Amino acid sequence: MNRWKKKIAILLTVAMTAGVMAACGSSNETPAQPAAESTPQAAATTAGEENQENKGSDGLYELDFYAWSNPDNIKPLIENFNSDYAGKYNLVYQKLADAMTLTINTALASGEKIDVMTQASHTDLRQRADDGVYMGLKQFFDKEGWDYADKLGTAIEETQNINGDYYSIPYCNNINMVFFNKNMFDEAGLEYPQSGWTWEDFRETAIKLTSGSGADKVYGAMIDTAGSSGSDNYWDLIARQKLGNNAYYNDDFTASTFGSDEMRESLQFFVDMTFKDQCIVPVEEITALQYNSDPVGMAGLYNGKYAMWIAPVYGCLYLKSSYGEIPEGTDIGMVDMPTPDGGQTITTCYSSTASIPANVENPEAAWELLKYICIDRPDLFAGPKAMHPAVEFDNEEDERAFNEIIFKEKPGLDYDMAMDTMMKDRTLVSKDCTIKQGYVAIQEGMENIMSLVFSGEMGVEEALNELQKSVDAAITADLAK
């Protein structure tokens, strides 16, 4: 990533002045994706084929990049790419209305020229790969002499691997952290949490920071445990830390894990925090006050509605004045996620991805653009939105330089604490899933069954039994097709 290090200062200036919008799969960015719809199968093209007919009046080959980001935030990417490929390519940004399944499928089926398409839904990604809409990318990695896991990490490789090929590259990897209101800790006389703390530490801290009642109640923490289709379903965090990637499936993907001790422990823990301790914001209040929208979630934290907030790293973005006035004296800290046993930090993450359509006119040119966005210069697309890149850093200097882009000029954020936390070692467990069998049943169960659990209408055992029964039946049926 040394190609972008020299331009960090420029990007920091851009990040300071631009009003940016987060663009990576969370509740604030786009509603949860409906089950993927099929698009007409595209004619496959291989990496060696070239088509130079699509040229502008300046004789440069035009590359069309589709995403849903604010066009102002794409300007640094366009300017740098067109400068680096001067005399060869001209990058043009085509803005999508949103990241919804129908919006992207309509664009892909429209016949318009698309060189790189982005998406937030991995269910959609899998469906498009199965339908032949996207090109396999392993051929390009092989040509570069790269290994996908070495370049992007094991967690991403395991969840992006579709029958031995890869149909996307994540342009961001959203690592979950705990943001906390340092002023509330100071007022309660509590020490700030440190990396290596446990879930029991988290729970005890949340209880101590909870006070009041009714409209004046202050909660110890805000966790988007479950609920609507836009929920992050953080009720399974402990299970994910213990089970690893593809946590909902057994080792050979022929059955679910909802009957496991890990799932039972995780769900019971957050149910107890909700109903027994009453120290985390209840689901109905999250929904009513829209705390599952990240800008509102951060506002609730700095306005003292709760003391801790689990969110991706890019949650710090919403401390920028463009999202609302930050109260004077705001002091927000950031710490790693708690772990079950206080050992090595294990953190959940999720990504949004970029793909090349199978019917692309010029595969080599499209690859150059995809590689530029996701691997060579992630500072130009992920960085200004405070998103952590998916590509592995070459060295500590590169990592620190990118983290500066994420955390610089975020009023009210303890910059030094955030930088120190981000530089620590951690094991990543991806929430992404491209497994096909049973996944629709999982999504439906998460929305319907877990909503009942966190509204107090269904118990833990009944919920997990119902989930296991319905999902296992769906897996069996899907595998039999």
Give the pLDDT of residue 59.
80
In single-letter form, the type of residue at position 306 comes to: Y
CA distance 177 to 332: 12
Structure tokens at 438: 């049973």
pLDDT at 459: 98
What's the pLDDT at 46? Answer: 35
3-state secondary structure (DSSP) of residue 302: helix
Name which of 39-48, 174-183, 357-366, 368-377 the model is least confident about. Answer: 39-48
Task: Give dist(CA 468, CA 471) in Å, integer.
Answer: 5
Domain covering 175-347+433-479 in this structure, CATH number: 3.40.190.10
Residue with the bigger pLDDT between 255 and 230: it is: 255
For residues 136 and 152, give the distance between their C-alpha atoms in angstroms, rounded to a whole number.
16
CA–CA distance, 460 with 272 (Å, rounded to integer): 10
C-alpha triplet 330, 334, 336: angle, nearest 5°: 165
230 band by pLDDT with thresholds 50, 70 and 90? low
Give mean pLDDT, residues 157-166: 97
The pLDDT of residue 30 is 37
Residue 366's pLDDT is: 99
- Contact of 201 with 193, CB cutoff 8 Å: yes
Among candidate residues 461, 377, 474, the one with its CA nearest the CA of residue 76 = 377
233 or 34, higher pLDDT: 233
Average pLDDT (227-239) is 85
* Confidence (pLDDT) at 41: 33
23 has pLDDT over 70:
no
CATH 3.40.190.10 maps onto the chain at 2-172+352-409, 175-347+433-479
What would you measure as the largest C-alpha separation in the chain, in angstroms? Answer: 68
CATH architecture of 2-172+352-409: 3-Layer(aba) Sandwich (3.40)
Tell me what the pLDDT averaged over the chain comes to.
90
The pLDDT of 421-429, averaged and rounded, is 97
Task: Report whether pLDDT(27) > 80.
Answer: no
Is residue 48 predicted with pLDDT exceeding 60? no
Confidence at residue 248, expressed as pLDDT on a 0 to 100 scale: 98
- Alpha helices for 67-181 (secondary structure H): 71-84, 101-109, 122-130, 138-144, 148-152, 154-160
pTM of the model: 0.88
Predicted confidence (pLDDT) at residue 365 exceeds the cutoff of 60: yes
- Between 481 and 20, the more confident residue is 481
pLDDT of residue 68: 96
pLDDT the model gives residue 232: 87
User: How much is the pLDDT for 22?
Assistant: 37
CA distance 190 to 182: 9
Lowest mean pLDDT among 31-45, 50-64, 290-304, 373-387: 31-45
- 32: pLDDT strictly greater than 90: no
Q: What is the mean pLDDT of residues 42-48?
A: 35
24 vs 427: CA distance, rounded Å: 21
Q: Which residue in the block uniquely carries the two structure tokens 């067109």?
A: 82
Q: Which two tokens mark 140?
A: 């390009």
pLDDT digits (tens, 9 = 90+) for 83-121: 999 999 999 999 999 999 999 999 999 999 999 999 999
- How large a percentage of the chain has pLDDT more than 90? 84
Helix extents (H) in 89-232 = 101-109, 122-130, 138-144, 148-152, 154-160, 182-188, 199-208
**What is the Cα–Cα distance from 295 to 273, expressed in whole angstroms?**
24
Q: Which of 24-28, 73-77, 364-368, 423-427 has the lowest mean pLDDT?
A: 24-28
Record the tokens describing residue 120, joined without a space: 């937030």
Span 235-256, pLDDT tens digits: 999 999 999 999 999 999 999 9
- For the segment 268-274, the average pLDDT, to the nearest whole number, is 99
Residues in the chain: 481
pLDDT confidence band for 45 (50 / 70 / 90) = very low
User: Is the separation of the CB atoms in 99 and 119 below 8 Å?
Assistant: yes
